[in-house]
């Protein structure tokens, strides 16, 4: 999808976040950006290897994107899917060497072709999105995972199962990041 003219408006990031929270609260699902510690924790959970596509779903203000790049993931391996046009435009400006796709995460992006995905890093607020949208998103990306692929998801819910398990994945890890407001639980899922 073509990115619009937010490129030239350049509102402050805080104002953009506030605007997006008011416009689509259930899609943003957070009042504060993620912390660097949360981003670094998610990036570390991707595991070794320098091959394979990494996809970030719902990058928002780009905190996690920055951590992924800082952890050593080459920009050419990374694809970011973001539904909000202002955020997608902001991300495209901030990360010119990363493929930023302005789209719904429930739609498989043509840009990825037949790629098997090594890691899906999801910042999507799966507990506040409509159930039908969540089912479409998780089915799309669970199907795309390479045999050794992983999904890494954060949630503010302190307990409970995940929609990724409903999509047939197995939870293989979980840790809490206290240095985030609110504290976040990071879960890792893989094929059974
Ligand atoms: C919790 S926020 C991301 C927080 C981000 N880590 C940060 O620090 O800014 C969730 C993001 O998911 C995006 N989003 C929500 N539903 C989406 C969908 N169906 N497809 C793609 N992105 C979506 C929102 O626009 C928002 O940017």
CATH number at residue 120: 3.40.50.150
Q: Could you tell which of 21, 62, 123 is best to mutate to test the pocket of ligand 1, judged by most ligand atoms within 8 Å of the CB?
A: 123
Nearest CA to ligand 1 atom 24: 28
Residue 121: inside a domain, yes or no? yes
Q: Which residues line ligand 1 (CB under 6 A)?
A: 27-30, 33-34, 57-58, 60-61, 63-64, 81-84, 87, 104-106, 123-125, 129, 133
Q: Is residue 11 part of a domain?
A: no
Closest CA to 123 of 51, 168, 62: 62
The alpha carbon of 74 and the centre of ligand 1 are apart by a number of angstroms equal to: 22
* Among 73, 161, 163, residue whose Cα is nearest residue 117: 73
Burial 125-142 (b: 16+ CB within 10 A, else e): bbeebeeebbebbbebbb
CA angle 135, 178, 73 (to 5 degrees): 65
Does residue 10 form part of some domain? no
pTM of the full structure: 0.93
Protein residue whose Cα sits closest to atom 2 of ligand 1 = 28
Helix (H), strand (E), coil (C) string for the chain: CCCCCHHHHCCCHHHHHHHHHHHCHHHHCCCCCCCHHHHHHHHHCCCCCCCCEEEEECCCCCHHHHHHHHCCCCHHHEEEEECCHHHHHHHHHHCCCCEEEECCCCCCCHHHCCCCEEEEEECCCCCCCCHHHHHHHHHHHHHHEEEEEEEEEEECCCCCCCHHHHCCCEEEEEEEECCCCCCEEEEEEECC
Q: How many domains does the chain have?
A: 1
Q: What percent of the chain stands above pLDDT 70?
A: 94
**pLDDT, tens digit, 9 for 90 and up, residues 115-147:** 899 999 999 999 999 999 999 999 999 999 999
Q: 10: pLDDT confidence band, cut at 50, 70 and 90?
A: low
Average model confidence (pLDDT) across the chain: 92
Is 1 among the domain residues?
Answer: no
Ligand 1: distance of its center to the CA of 52 in Å?
A: 23
For residue 30, name the pLDDT band (cuts at 50, 70, 90): confident
In a domain, 64, yes or no: yes
What residue numbers bound the domain in which 96 lies? 23-190
In a domain, residue 16? The reply is no
Give residue-wise pLDDT tens across range 47-85.
877 889 999 999 999 999 999 999 999 999 999 999 999
What mean pLDDT do residues 95-110 have? 96
Ligand 1: distance of its center to the CA of 5 in Å? 20
Asked if the structure places residue 143 within a domain, the reply is yes
pLDDT band, residue 3 (cuts 50/70/90): low
Q: Is residue 114 part of a domain?
A: yes
């Amino acid at each position: 999808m073509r990115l619009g003219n937010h490129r030239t408006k350049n509102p402050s990031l805080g104002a953009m976040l506030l605007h997006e929270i008011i416009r689509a609260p259930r899609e943003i699902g957070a009042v504060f950006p993620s912390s660097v510690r949360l981003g670094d924790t998610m990036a570390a959970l991707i595991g070794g290897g320098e091959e394979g596509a990494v996809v970030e779903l719902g990058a928002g203000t780009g905190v996690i994107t920055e951590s992924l790049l800082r952890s050593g993931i080459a920009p050419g391996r990374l694809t970011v899917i973001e539904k909000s046009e202002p955020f997608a435009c902001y991300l495209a400006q901030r990360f010119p060497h990363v493929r930023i796709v302005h789209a719904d995460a429930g739609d498989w992006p043509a840009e990825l072709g037949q790629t098997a995905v090594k890691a899906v890093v999801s910042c999507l607020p799966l507990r506040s999105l409509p159930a039908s949208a969540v089912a479409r998103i998780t089915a799309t990306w669970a199907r795309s995972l390479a045999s050794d692929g992983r999904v890494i998801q954060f949630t503010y819910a302190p307990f409970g199962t995940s929609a990724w398990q409903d999509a047939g994945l197995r939870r293989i890890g979980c840790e809490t990041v206290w240095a985030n407001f609110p504290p976040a639980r990071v879960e890792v899922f893989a094929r059974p």
